[in-house]
């Protein structure tokens, strides 16, 4: 697979894992299910679809070009659940510490 790249819609994976798994929490009581699910789904994807490269891309926070193109974009979508927001925030902080 010398010229293949695996692209993943990370935001879709986050929501999918969040809603598919039970309310998993760490010993401190913080929610962890979405991140646990995403990591496992990515591991399985890499195993099932070997590639030379892989990238997991997430939606940008706030307004994007899609909002300019179509003002009703996500107009009826509810806000992100707080338990998912907190997992993303902790994950972002952990990634910053490792870079």
Residue with tokens 């996500």: 74
Alpha-helical (H) ranges within the chain are: 10-20, 33-48, 65-69, 82-98
The pLDDT score that the predictor gives to residue 26 is 94
Q: For the segment 22-52, what is each residue's pLDDT rounded down to a tens digit?
A: 999 999 999 999 999 999 999 999 999 999 9
Residue 84 clears pLDDT 90, i.e. is over it: yes
What token pair was written down for 65?
Answer: 């070009």
- Please name the helix (run of DSSP H) or strand (run of DSSP E) that holds residue 81, with its range, or none: none
C-alpha distances out from residue 85 to 19, 57, 94, 96, Å: 13, 17, 14, 17
The pLDDT score that the predictor gives to residue 98 is 59
Q: Which residues contact 26 (CB under 8 A, 6 or more apart)?
A: 32
């Amino acid at each position: 697979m010398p010229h293949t790249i695996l692209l993943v819609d990370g935001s879709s994976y986050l929501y999918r894992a969040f809603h598919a798994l039970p309310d998993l929490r760490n010993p401190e009581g913080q929610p962890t299910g979405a991140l646990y699910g995403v990591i496992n789904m990515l591991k399985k994807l890499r195993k099932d679809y070997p590639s030379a490269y892989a990238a997991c891309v997430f939606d940008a926070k706030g307004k994007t070009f899609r909002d300019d193109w179509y003002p009703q974009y996500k107009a009826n979508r509810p806000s992100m659940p707080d338990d998912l927001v907190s997992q993303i925030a902790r994950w972002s902080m952990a990634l910053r510490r490792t870079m």
